[in-house]
């Protein structure tokens, strides 16, 4: 009996390791930032105290309705503000998005290196996003207009204020619709001597440009505060908002200083029928992980050295690596264009925030952590042909076990019920057959997921561990006193 268990355990182990180790899989799909609703995207480049922030809006209403207000630490000069092309975000998103790769099993009954070509199915990325500004309309006083610029299709005003009432009145008088509770959010920034960067669209110029989307705006300034103001964006929204941050530094990963930064689950083996559904799968996987991590974490989705002279930047790559020009456009000013020298580290962070879980603006630290990371899930296609040999029979049996594990992984990661795909373990295609097998589900859920594997144990484990600690000390002392010190 023992022997049997060992063999089974080994075969599972073997199945857990990709068989075609030489290949790192064929990239099949990605889950880009566009799949999330109610979302903003931001590129932050941090070089010492120099910070370049590029923001993109997926504003879908009438252009004359568009307006955005962002707190900034200084009065920006005209040369510090640029209008960028949307493709910049597209290239960073595509390159760093969570990815799906596939492997192909070899038929154990043949002696050949069978490998089918993977047809690359690329999801087209149409970047849409929503910035955390307040959209707006309505008087004025005690407000200083520090500067006014007309840059391409945007009319930009930089304001400073003595008190929030005045700022609110000014915004209203100038056609910005201010949410009711904006005042209490504006106040702290005013008292902290922040300026306000207010943007509206110049309708005539916008018409001439004839664009479907509003182009991203880039601002650059010097500040010791490495932060992103998210509070203002929460003034007119009660629900969850997604924020994808593409951060570039000289030294290493960027992580949140005031929230927990965690990596998404990666290198998990999931069922092959998810091939065309990865974007939806990832969307649900993000929601599940977000909830499991307590709804207040910042997630790392990609971290890699993307220096122009650095070799491998992903494994496998989802899109073309960001070209030097993209990096320079984003504000990475330290690359030597001639010699391609300069160290650039790329971190992609994904935050889902709301007012109750994120009471404070996001602050960041630039760490020397250069560990590479990417969200990458794996499909393994079974071998084809006949299996009329001893190894073939074993293979089919292992395959069933593997497929059952893949289904369990799918359920743990994204909450998609394994029992909905009964044919998959029978080596069928995995058509969805919604099950009503409540009993079976209940039986499964009797053991919490964090014990059966995969998920994070609950927070109350901390007091339990501490009590165990006290118990250990008391027991240790009692035993020692009784057995070792009794002769003293």
Binding site for another protein (CB under 8 A): 184, 187-188, 191-192, 224-226, 251, 255-263, 293-294, 296-298, 359-360, 363, 365, 367-371, 456-457, 459-463, 465-466, 468-470, 472-473, 476-477, 481, 485, 488
d(CA 274, CA 281): 7
Least distance between another protein and beta carbon 361 (Å): 9
Pick the closer one to another protein by CB: 151 or 262. 262
HSE, CB side, 13 Å, CA atoms: give it for residue 213: 18
In the complex, minimum distance from the CB of residue 475 to another protein, in angstroms, rounded to a whole number: 11
Least distance in Å: CB of 199 to another protein?
25
Q: Residue with structure tokens 């998959």?
A: 424
Contact yes or no for 357/74 (Cβ under 8 A): no
Q: Which of 230, 163, 262, 206 is nearest to 59 (CA)?
A: 206
Beta strand 50-56 pairing with 99-104: unpaired
CB of 412 to another protein, least distance (A): 16
Residue number, 434 or 459, with CB nearest to another protein: 459
C-alpha to C-alpha distance for 197 and 194, rounded to whole angstroms: 10
- Region of 385 (left: φ > 0; alpha: ψ -120 to 50; beta: rest) is left
Residue 453: CB minimum distance to another protein, A? 13
- Count of C-beta atoms within a 10 Å radius of residue 93: 22
Of the candidates 195, 244, 191, the residue with the CA atom closest to the CA atom of residue 219: 195
Q: Is 433 helix (H, G, I), strand (E, B) or coil?
A: coil
Nearer to another protein, 189 or 416 (CB): 189
Is the CB of 114 or the CB of 472 nearer to another protein? 472
162, 190 in Cβ contact below 8 A?
Answer: yes
Given the complex with another protein, which of 29 and 227 has the nearer CB atom?
227
184 φ, ψ to 5°?
A: -70, -20
Q: Reading across the β-sheet that carries 376-381, which strands appear in turn?
A: 26-30, 99-104, 376-381
Instruction: Give the tokens for residue 219.
Output: 């601002």
* Closest to another protein by CB, 386 or 486: 486
CA distances, 405 to each of 323, 411, 418 (Å): 40, 10, 10
- Are 424 and 410 within 8 A, CB to CB? no
Whichever of 172 and 225 has its CB closer to another protein, that residue is: 225
**Tokens standing for residue 116:** 């089918």
In the complex with another protein, the residue whose CB is nearer, 175 or 188, is: 188
In the complex, the smallest distance separating the C-beta of residue 176 from another protein, rounded to whole angstroms, is 21
Looking at beta carbons only, is 143 or 297 nearer to another protein?
297
Please give the structure tokens belonging to residue 174: 């100038």
Interatomic CA distance for residues 162 and 144, integer angstroms: 9
Residue 20 vs 365, nearer CB to another protein:
365
Q: Which of 55, 132, 68, 72 is nearest to 355 (CA)?
A: 132
In whole angstroms, how close is the CB of 50 to another protein at the nearest point?
14
Q: What is the DSSP string of 316-370?
A: S-SSPPPPHHHHHHHT-TT-BTTTTB---EEEEEEEEE-TTT--S-EEEEE----
Beta-bridge mates of residue 349 = 245, 300
**Closest CB to another protein among residues 13, 485:** 485
Angstrom distance (rounded) from CA 34 to CA 95: 13
Q: How far is the CB of 298 from another protein (least distance, A)?
A: 8
Rounded Cα distance between 51 and 45, Å, is 6
> Which residue, 145 or 462, is less far from another protein as judged by CB?
462
* Tokens linked to 51: 């910070």
Residue 436: how many other CB atoms lie within 10 Å: 8
């Amino acid at each position: 009996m023992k022997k049997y268990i060992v063999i089974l355990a080994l075969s599972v182990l073997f199945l857990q390791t990709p068989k075609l180790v030489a290949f790192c899989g064929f990239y099949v799909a990605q889950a880009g930032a566009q799949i999330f609703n109610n979302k903003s995207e931001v590129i932050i480049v941090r070089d010492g105290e120099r910070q370049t922030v590029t923001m993109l809006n997926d504003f879908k209403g009438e252009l004359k309705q568009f307006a955005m207000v962002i707190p900034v630490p200084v009065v920006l000069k005209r040369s510090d503000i640029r209008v960028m092309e949307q493709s910049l975000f597209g290239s960073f998103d595509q390159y760093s998005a969570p990815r799906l790769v596939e492997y192909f099993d070899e038929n154990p009954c043949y002696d050949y290196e069978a490998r089918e070509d993977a047809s690359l199915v690329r999801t087209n990325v149409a970047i849409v996003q929503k910035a955390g500004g307040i959209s707006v309309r309505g008087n004025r006083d005690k407000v200083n207009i520090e500067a006014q610029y007309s840059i391409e299709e945007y009319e930009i005003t930089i304001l400073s204020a003595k008190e929030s009432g005045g700022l609110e009145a000014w915004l209203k008088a100038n056609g910005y619709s201010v949410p009711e509770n904006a005042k209490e959010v504006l106040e702290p920034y005013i008292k902290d001597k922040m300026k306000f960067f207010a943007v509206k669209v110049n309708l005539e110029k916008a018409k001439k440009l004839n664009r479907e989307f509003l182009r991203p705006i880039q601002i650059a300034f010097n500040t010791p505060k490495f932060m992103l103001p998210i509070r203002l964006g929460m003034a007119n929204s009660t629900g969850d908002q997604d924020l994808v941050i593409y951060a570039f530094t000289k030294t290493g990963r960027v992580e949140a200083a005031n929230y927990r930064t965690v990596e998404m689950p990666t290198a998990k083996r999931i069922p092959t029928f998810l091939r065309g559904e990865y974007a939806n799968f990832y969307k649900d996987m993000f929601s599940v992980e977000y909830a499991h991590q307590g709804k207040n974490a910042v997630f790392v989705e990609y971290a890699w050295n993307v220096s122009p002279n650095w070799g491998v930047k992903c494994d496998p790559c989802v899109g073309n690596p960001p070209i030097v020009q993209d990096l320079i456009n984003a504000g990475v000013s330290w690359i030597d264009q001639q010699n391609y020298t300069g160290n650039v580290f790329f971190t992609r962070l994904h935050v889902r925030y709301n007012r109750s879980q994120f009471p404070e603006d996001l602050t960041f630290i630039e760490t020397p952590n250069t560990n590479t990371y990417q969200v990458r899930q794996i499909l393994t296609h079974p071998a084809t042909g006949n299996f009329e040999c001893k190894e073939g029979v074993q293979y089919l049996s292992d395959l069933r076990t593997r497929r059952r594990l893949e289904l369990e992984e799918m359920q743990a990661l994204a909450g998609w019920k394994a029992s909905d795909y009964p044919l998959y373990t029978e080596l069928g295609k995995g058509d969805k057959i919604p099950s009503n097998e409540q009993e079976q589900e209940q039986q499964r859920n009797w053991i919490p997921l964090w014990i059966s594997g995969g998920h994070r144990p609950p927070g109350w484990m901390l007091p339990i561990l501490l009590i165990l600690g006290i118990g250990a000390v008391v027991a240790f002392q009692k035993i020692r006193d009784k057995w070792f010190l009794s002769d003293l």
